[in-house]
Amino acid sequence: MERKLFGTDGIRGTANRDPMTAEMALKVAVAAGSQFLNHRTNGHTTGKTVRAKRPLAVIGKDTRLSGYMLEPAMTAGFASIGMDVILVGPLPTPAVAMLTRTFRADLGIMLSASHNPFEDNGIKIFGPDGFKLSDRVEHEIERAVFDRIPPRAAPKELGRVRRLDDSHGRYIEFVKATFPRGKRLDGLKVVIDCANGAAYRVAPLVLAELGAEVIPIGIEPNGFNINDNCGAVFPRKIQAAVLEHNADIGLALDGDADRLIVADEKGAVVDGDQIIALIAKSWLQQDHLATSQVVTTVMSNLGLERYLGDLGIELIRMPVGDRYVVERMRSDGINLGGEQSGHIVMSDYGTTGDGLMAALQVLAAKVEADEPTSAVANLFTPLPQLLKNVRVAPEAMSRVLEEDSVVSAIAEAEASLGAAGRILIRKSGTEPLIRVMAEGENRSLIHDVVDGIVAAIAAVNTPRDTKAAS
């Protein structure tokens, strides 16, 4: 089905430009609220749908300036259809998911564009169970936004709004409870980069309360500096800080703290694939894995797949987006999954990626092993992998990969790599980009095949710019 609003992770765009406007935020609140209005499932007893006395929405946000615009717009939308609202302020995305379940709310909203710069913002929606919405429900909300007359509550039935003063404390205790009982972080020097984002208050407190010597950076948000040369998308800052302070480990979160990147004591980056490998190994030893399977995405390195295979663990690949990982985990009863980018999902503890919770699992493994981070968190050698993002005109996104010259270039690249590697071509769900990735044992060859495909796309699209990452 064609998407007008939703991408791979909610709705996202430039703040105060369509679709990320106050007007659209109000419409989305009305549409999403109507989808869940007065319907809650009492799954612990009858499994039947029951009518609630007061429908409720929870709204959280990160530290972007535009949050001040979107938060009241969505609040007004919910109140206009008779939904009460609890405002929790700047908090990580997984905290909003947790509080949605804690309050038995009808839905939760996180206002964040995750790792994007401050100019962008987004709307992430959680259902009553704390999970992100399915494609089907998102489609229904889109239909309601564009095609349906919005409902209005009677004057005496308008929603009430209040702020939750202890939201930070609730999340801190929730996260700490996932750290092994009887273990502490005494004697560890930990640098944490909060990306001037949603976790700038809670993350350093969690680590300090568990006994670590904490060196916090990226904890001075001003509305503009979220993810600005800091956090999980700019690991050079945490790498440098670890070396500067002679720390045992560095932890970097992104703007909404649902992803984690680690730096070891030597300043080397440990990505999401290595974190998944570490947790999988640790949980296998503890008999904590629910199944002999782990879910990742098509982006995960082939080296991870081979490492897990040697442990007797099957790697299942899903499309990019942590909600697709979660959907497969839920359907198959798998309790560990994630993405190379650092989204780590542990369904025994939460319903979505949680960077801080994943950090505690890494620290728990380090404490248990009593070895340097470099020895604990680098478990396999990644195969060479190259990714290039090709910016395309939005109107060309639907056709560029169907052009004969592009199809031929992809076929030639696949033939060149053969069974010794793989190629992944996909459209970004959040930006007008075509992502071209190749992986294999021959570094020179993967550069050649990626460059060939990028050139073919450029020839039919005349993109404004390209960016490379390896």
Task: Kindly name the residue from 114, 282, 341, 416 that is annotated as catalytic.
Answer: 114
Residues 6+ apart with CB under 8 A from 205: 168, 172
H-only helix segments in 156-257 = 167-176, 202-209, 236-245
Looking at residue 353, what DSSP letter applies?
-
* CA 66-71-74 angle, 5° bins: 125
Would you tell me the crossing angle of helices 404-417 and 443-461 to the nearest 10 degrees? 180
Distance between CA atoms of 276 and 308, rounded to whole angstroms? 10
> What helix, strand, coil percent values describe the chain, rounded to 5?
40, 20, 40
Q: Say if strands 84-90 and 56-61 run parallel, antiparallel, or are unpaired.
A: parallel
Known catalytic residue: 114?
yes
Write the DSSP assignment of 443-467 as a string of letters. Answer: HHHHHHHHHHHHHHHHHHH--S-EE
User: What is the three-class DSSP state of 283?
Assistant: helix
Q: What's the rounded Cα separation, in Å, for the pair 190 and 213?
A: 6
Whose structure tokens read 């390209």?
466
Alpha-carbon distance values, 166 to 50, 89, 202, 206 (Å): 29, 10, 12, 15
The label of the residue with tokens 């990714």 reads 387
- Rounded Cα gap, residues 51 and 70, in angstroms: 29
Amino acid identity, position 142: E
Coil/strand/helix, residue 314: strand
Catalytic (active-site) positions: 114
